[in-house]
Chain A
Amino acid sequence: MHDHAVLRVVSKLLMPFIFLFALYVQFHGDFGPGGGFQAGVIFGAGMILYALIFGLKAARKVAPLHYLRAQLSLGVLLYAGTGIVGLVQGSNYLDYSVLAHDPAHGQEYGIMLIEMGVLLTVSSAMTLIFYLFAGQDH
């Protein structure tokens, strides 16, 4: 769809706002609706839009396959690692209260960290699934 000037221009204009909105949903998750999964889907949708308009090749330059696979795993490891920090600090797995001096702060940090893990994994999974379906002829 590279020759459609309107699509190209409009999607180029939209792209930064899509990614920004993803980050908004991510960091606003503890005050309102949102969180890592929703943000990850929006982020992945941004990547998919880019791949649709500018082609799979260009998208793979921005986010190579091996990079996405690594991100997929790192997200899970960040989530599980946050839980293990609680374990090491002498409490139960996934207890965030011990992450900071104040339990309330600890809970906030914990949620932020695991939702970050969810964002990493979901956004790369969405993009990867699209890559795999779109690149089946290769």
Chain B
Amino acid sequence: MISTHLPILQVLVPLLAAPVLALLRGRTLSYLVATGFVVVAFLIAIGLTIQVVHTGAVSYAIGNWAPPLGIEYRIDELTVIMLLMVTGIASAVLIGGGQSIAVEIPERRAPLFFALFCLNVAGLIGMTVTGDVFNLFVFLEISSLSTYALVAMGRDRRALTAAYQYLVIGTVGATFYVIGVGLLYMMTGTLNMADLTARVSGVESTLTIKTALAFLFIGLGVKLGMMPVHFWLPNAYAQAPSTVSAFLAGTATKVAVYVMLRIVFGIFGIGIFTSSYLADVVIALGIFAMVAASVSAIFQSDAKRLLAYSSLAQIGYILFALGLATEAGLTAAILHLFNHGLMKATLFLALTAVALRLGRTRLEDFDGLAQAMPATMLAFAVAALSLVGVPLTIGFVSKWYLLAAAFDRDGVLVAAVILGSSLLALLYLWPLVERAYFRKRPAGAPEIEEAPLALILAMWALVAVNVFLGVNSQFTVNLAANAARHLIGAVP
């Protein structure tokens, strides 16, 4: 009964929350309503995961119009990985971030803030579940527009500049995407992804299809923070309200990478990807990001910016793994997609706690923080170690698969670059940990308390998942490997 409608409810629940929230007044009420809707969305994601694991991919025809004519929602292994991640992180951020939002967002804007947050969640979920490239564009716009407004609600006026910069470059990205979709439609006459896959293979040598691929690649590249077109990302992450940074860093760029996987491998197929120079370009861009963004991160003086640059470097790993275009490479890319989202959300939640207590997140503010906020800093330290790739954490699992995939294809040199970049990660994360644990609070610094309980619980829930999946990696690895096999076409 209701289980057949889970795909649409997954999108509908957070989407409906937005107009309801816009009608509400008062912070507490809207906070409770938003959290309720988002947690329900998380439960639906769990339900969908159970369905997919047991019965395979699920398809849902909107308005009962059969695909490819109607809009199809399609849920498979790759989709549920993303759904769990987006709704899980959204729940953790809302449950933990209540106090931080109360401090950073004025009372009268609170209902609209939560409405935008839910719209953003709905947009990201929609991009994930839809099997229609134009419907995807609509959800891309929903999530992007709400992100611009959310970033603009940041602590000071620089947030407006950051939001405006993101608005301009993000719109260019979305335009490129829709031009690509237009070219695809011109050659195939369809917008359904499965139908596109079948029809593109007949015309894949034409220039129009290659141009479409180029437009889609660059458009999505802007959205996912690919290195040379990334410059909106550090400002947006650094200036947005802390909770928004935590949510965006964990999900937004990851969903864009997911869309790139779907489009490049799902629709165009591996043949056109490797036979054009695109695969080499992606590998080169990935390696460039791994090194350049990590080096930039070392020189940042604000922890939020530092983590934003670290995100760019991690996107580099994912792009590199994607560019290998082997089954092992795609498995590593999907694994790291999920794992990195989890780690970055934890790190940014810890920064949310620091920003809540200190009002800012500069590096020198971390001096001696481990005594004042032991639970927060320990969560931060574990997530940081995971990001570097220490065993027993998910960071190790994805690095392991990444290295194995790199060895298979390009050998020792590239593996050395990955290891070197991991050392750079240690180099930019260590100062934070060192300041927190081995230095004293400066004399005359105000007394501060530990973060609120809800925030600690949210952080530690993510850390627990991190360590649990780091030790029992089978569940995520199997999902990722199956998803990679489907994408690459070994199993039709």
Q: Which residues of A pack against B, CB within 8 Å?
A: 69-70, 72-74, 76-77, 80, 83-84, 86-87, 91-97
Contact = CB atoms under 8 A, between A and B. Distances in A.
Given A92-B61, A95-B63, A96-B63, A69 B22 contact: yes
Main secondary structure of the interface of A (DSSP, over half): helix
B206 interface: no
B23 A76 contact: no
11 contacts: A70-B23, A72-B22, A74-B23, A77-B16, A77-B19, A87-B8, A92-B61, A92-B63, A93-B5, A93-B62, A95-B63
Given A86-B63, A91-B64, A93-B8, 11 more contacts: A70-B23, A73-B20, A73-B23, A74-B23, A80-B16, A80-B19, A87-B5, A93-B5, A93-B63, A95-B63, A97-B64
A138 to B, nearest CB: 15
Nearest to A77: B19
A50 to B, nearest CB: 24
A33 B18 CA distance: 30
Interface string B1-35: 00001001000100110111011000000000000
A76 B323 CA distance: 41
Task: Determine the main DSSP class of B at the interface with A.
Answer: helix
B60 A92 contact: yes
Contacts of A72: 19, 22
Closest 6 A/B residue pairs (Cβ)? A73-B19, A95-B64, A94-B63, A76-B19, A93-B8, A92-B64
Interface string B226-270: 000000000000000000000000000000000000000000000
A70 B19 CA distance: 9
Nearest to A121: B19
Interface string B35-61: 000000000000000000000000011
Interface size class of B (residues with CB under 8 A): 10 to 19
B165 to A, nearest CB: 21
Contacts of A69: 22-23
A74 B5 CA distance: 24
Interface of B: 5, 8, 12, 15-16, 18-20, 22-23, 60-64
Nearest to B15: A80
Contacts of A76: 18-19
Contacts of B15: 80
B65 to A, nearest CB: 8
Given A93-B8, A93-B12, A74 B61 contact: no
A87 B61 CA distance: 12
Contacts of A92: 5, 8, 60-64
A114 to B, nearest CB: 11
Contacts of B61: 92
Contacts of A74: 19, 23
A34 B23 CA distance: 29
Contacts of A83: 12
A130 B20 CA distance: 23
Given A92-B60, A95-B63, A77 B5 contact: no
B233 to A, nearest CB: 28
B5 A94 contact: no
A69 B63 CA distance: 29
B448 to A, nearest CB: 39
A95 B63 CA distance: 4
Contacts of A94: 62-63
A69 B109 CA distance: 13
Report which residue of A74, A77, A93 has the largest number of chain B beta carbons within 10 angstroms of its beta carbon. A93
A94 B16 CA distance: 14
B59 to A, nearest CB: 11
A120 B63 CA distance: 22
A87 B1 CA distance: 10
A132 to B, nearest CB: 13
A116 B63 CA distance: 18
A112 B19 CA distance: 20
Contact of A73 (B8, B22, B62): B22
A80 B12 contact: yes
A86 B12 CA distance: 14
Most buried by B among A69, A91, A94: A94
Contacts of B16: 77, 80
Nearest to A94: B63
Contacts of A97: 64
Nearest to B61: A92
A97 B22 CA distance: 31
